Amino acid sequence: MTTSGTYAFNPSLGELTLYAYNLIGVRNTAVLQEHMTAARMASNLLLANWANRGVNLWAVDLVTVPLVQGQATYSVDGNTVVMLDAYIETVTDGVATDRIILPVSRTEYASYPNKEQQGFPTVFWFDRLIAPEVTLWPVPNGQQTYLKYYRVRQIQDANLTSGQTVEIPYLWLDAFANNLAARLAMIWNPQMIQILKPIADESYQIAADQNVETAQQYISPMTSGYFR
How is the chain split into domains, by residue range? Answer: 13-55+164-208, 59-153
Mean pLDDT in residue range 22-43: 97
What does the pLDDT look like over 57-113, one tens digit per residue? 999 999 999 999 999 999 999 999 999 999 999 998 889 999 999 999 999 999 999
Mean pLDDT in residue range 37-42: 98
CB 155 within 8 A of CB 47: yes
* Strand, helix or coil for residue 172: helix
- pLDDT for the residue 147: 98
CB 138 within 8 A of CB 126: no
Give burial (CB, 10 Å; 0-12/13-18/19+) of 196.
buried
Mean pLDDT in residue range 158-173: 96
Query: What does the alpha-carbon distance between residue 104 and residue 136 come to, in Å, rounded to a whole number?
Result: 10
Q: Is the pLDDT reported for residue 153 higher than 90? A: yes
